[in-house]
Amino acid sequence: MKLSVITICLNELEIERTCKSIFEQTFNDFEWIIIDGQSNIQTINKIKKYISKIDLFISEKDSGIYDAMNKGILYAKGEYVSFMNAGDTFYSKTTLSEIFEKNFYMDDVIYGNVNIIKNNKSHIENNPNYITKDFFLNGTINHQSCFIKRNLFQKYGLYDITYKYASDYEKFILFSKANVKFRYVNQIIANHYRNGISSDKNSVSIEWKKIQNKYFSKSERKNCGIKYKVILFGLNLLSIKEIFPKKYVKLFGIFTIFKLKKNLIYLFGLNFLPILKLKGNVNE
């Protein structure tokens, strides 16, 4: 069997869109495992509509999302595992076919791009063609948009359940440090809805820092900065290096700061009130 699709769930209001996405995949060489944390009857009834396609359904108390993901891994039989958790979806009905039928991949981690959806707005996050040694100091791979060889969990262990938000991030770093083979496919794999537990930015950031301190030296953490290109009306306006974490970049002395978001550039003055707002693209 090529693939195990693992879905974890706990009272997810939008579980049916996830089930529908998996149920309608044109690719057939996969098993579907649902690990539910003992949801309410309304959620269970939504899942049961798709029972004909579900290979294993377990509903019982667990110790959090990574405990549930670990259970799914232990039951899985596929060569690769995909974590399509409750609320998220594959990008199209043919996503799995396009990955596993048109090409034959042997790499350890296959990763693509992801469509981020929040407040009814969406944007595509493109991953790099290659994972460099310091890539995970600045970002990570969305786990819904990748396929991981199951034997990596046998070799390097399951997710660390002491992390509530970022155990998948730690595992990607561990894989990278062990020189496992990452392969990029220029394809949108998943729709990820930013309304779940991983959207708690402060808590995620705390765990990220703890993990980075564990795996990267002080000099690696200090010397690594992101080069951003600010694109305005199709023109490369400027290139800058990150100084403040993810959002703020010092440009001209101490008084002028840009706040960077996807498709928005804010220019701040001395009083930190926005004095200019430009629509553009912010690319790494």
Residue 205 belongs to domain with CATH number: 3.90.550.10
Question: Same structural domain for residues 259 and 143?
Answer: no
**Which domain covers residue 153, as residue numbers?**
3-220
pTM of the model: 0.79
At 221, the pLDDT band (50, 70, 90 cuts) reads confident
Q: Check whether residue 207 and residue 260 sit in a common domain.
A: no
Same domain for 167 and 247: no
SS3 assignment, position 90: strand
User: CB–CB of 36/9 below 8 Å?
Assistant: yes
In the predicted model, what is the mean pLDDT of the chain? 82
How sure is the predictor about 265, in pLDDT bands with cuts at 50, 70 and 90? very low
Sign of torsion, CA 149 151 155 158?
positive
DSSP 144: G
253 and 193 share a domain? no
If one counts the domains in the chain, the total is: 2
Cα separation, 260 vs 247, whole angstroms: 5
Q: Are residues 18 and 38 in the same domain?
A: yes
Q: Mark residue 55 as left, alpha or beta (left: phi above 0; alpha: psi -120 to 50; beta: remaining).
A: alpha
Same domain, 238 and 271: yes
Residues 213, 232 within the same domain:
no
Q: Give the pLDDT band (50/70/90) at residue 120.
A: confident
Distance of alpha carbon 167 from alpha carbon 143, whole angstroms: 11
The residue from 174, 193, 220 where one domain ends is 220
Positive or negative torsion for Cα 141, 142, 148, 150: positive
Question: What pLDDT band is residue 274 in, cutting at 50, 70 and 90?
Answer: very low
Q: Which of 184, 199, 220 is the last residue of a domain?
A: 220
Which pair of tokens denotes residue 167?
């155990």
If asked whether residues 216 and 234 sit together in one domain, one would say no
Task: Give the whole-angstrom CA distance, residue 21 versus residue 90.
Answer: 6
State whether residue 258 is helix, strand or coil: strand
The backbone torsions φ and ψ at residue 105, rounded to the nearest 5 degrees and listed phi first, read -105, 140
Amino acid identity for residue 116 in this structure? I
CA distance from start to end of the chain:
37
Residues 69 and 12 in one domain: yes
**Planar angle of CA 56, 57, 58, nearest 5 degrees:** 120
* One domain for residues 100 and 241: no
Q: What is the pLDDT, as a whole number, of residue 237?
A: 45
For 32, the token pair is 């579907």
Q: Are residues 118 and 240 in the same domain?
A: no
Residues 84 and 9 in one domain: yes
What beta strand segments (E) does 55-211 contain? 56-59, 80-83, 89-90, 109-118, 121-125, 146-149, 182-193
What is the model's pLDDT at position 223?
Answer: 67
Stretch among 45-59, 153-167, 183-197 having the lowest mean pLDDT: 183-197
Strand ranges, E, within the chain: 3-9, 30-36, 56-59, 80-83, 89-90, 109-118, 121-125, 146-149, 182-193, 227-232, 235-241, 248-252, 256-261, 264-268, 274-279, 281-283
More confident residue, 284 or 192: 192
Cβ atoms within 10 Å, residue 191 = 23
pLDDT at position 168: 96
Domain boundary residue among 220, 240, 272? 220
